[in-house]
Amino acid sequence: MDDVELRELRYFIAVADELSFTRAAARLGLAQPPLSAAIAKLERKLGVRLLERTSRRVTLTAAGSVLLEQGRIAVEAAAAAVERTRRAGTQPGRLTVAVKPGTGTDLLQQIIQRCARDPQVPEVHLLFGHPGGPAAAVRGGAADVAILRAPFDQRSLDCEPLLTEPRVAVLPAHHPLAGRTEVRRADLAGEPVPRWAGQPDPAAAAYWTGQPDPAAEPPPGPEINDVSQLLDAVALGNAVAYVPVSLADQYRSAAGVVFLPVADLSPSETAVAWPVGSRSRAVAAFVRAAIEVAARPTEPTSALA
């Protein structure tokens, strides 16, 4: 059997994602006949049928479903290997940590201070705002490790929980419920909720919009990229939001918003994540430092008066 090329896997993934040769060809910038020929050649190489084609639709076979899952991992791993190699040559002696703004800021500061005293951890460089979020940055090779909040796509990643804390509601100061001491999710049902840009994962979207069912369509709301935009959207009355209590403590003096405990909302979990099978001593030292810092006794987090 001839070796399968990454190009062929990319072609197949596009067709499998789109379930249309026409749309896949447009996505790849190819004409349809060469794409069809490439898929047929791939099927001959593997000796199995990957797609069922009719005049009306394209569907995956059982073998095609397996190749879609495993092929995606292979393509991502190859791209990550290239990116990590480039960074090793252009940014030697640096450990890149991906993080979303507002995620465990105090915890992250303590971890960095702890790492500064560890000779096994090189200079720590923080990466903010990567498309797809911190998990995608590590998976794609742009970062070595991430500090992030669950839920997130754990494909090709190992992770360890660091911190669990309550989440609270952020309401406009003029909201009818702003004077309450506590709310429930049902009280805010139907309210628009901000959507984080670059977060297509349904489970994560449902979590941050307070939806009990990940399959439920969350209420529409403005797209945001950072905490400042979230607070502005809420203050202007365009949305309500749910945030970890530690983040609320940082912004309690923000104008135009109030923070309220939510009786029936799941907690927020901050975790450290790194590539599956990583043998990097620097990554291992950073993860060890993160776990040690998170295990230290701390003052109880504010319950928000």
CATH homologous superfamily for the domain 167-261: Periplasmic binding protein-like II (3.40.190.10)
Q: What is the CATH number of domain 6-82?
A: 1.10.10.10
Nearest Cα residue to 111 out of 246, 250, 271, 303 = 271
| All CATH 3.40.190.10 domain ranges in the chain, comma separated | 93-162+269-295, 167-261
| All CATH 1.10.10.10 domain ranges in the chain, comma separated | 6-82
Residue pair 58/39 in contact (Cβ under 8 Å)? The answer is no
Residue pair 100/204 in contact (Cβ under 8 Å)? The answer is no
Would you say the pTM of this structure is higher than 0.85?
A: no
Q: What is the pLDDT along the chain (305 residues), one digit of tens a residue?
A: 468 999 999 999 999 999 999 999 999 999 999 999 999 999 999 999 999 988 788 999 999 999 999 999 999 999 999 999 999 898 888 999 999 877 777 889 999 999 999 999 999 999 987 888 899 999 999 999 999 998 888 989 999 999 999 999 999 999 999 999 999 998 998 899 888 776 556 777 777 777 766 566 666 788 888 889 999 999 999 999 999 998 898 888 889 999 999 999 999 999 999 999 899 999 999 999 999 999 986 654 444 54
Q: What is the CATH number of domain 93-162+269-295?
A: 3.40.190.10
| Residue for token pair 């026409």 | 22
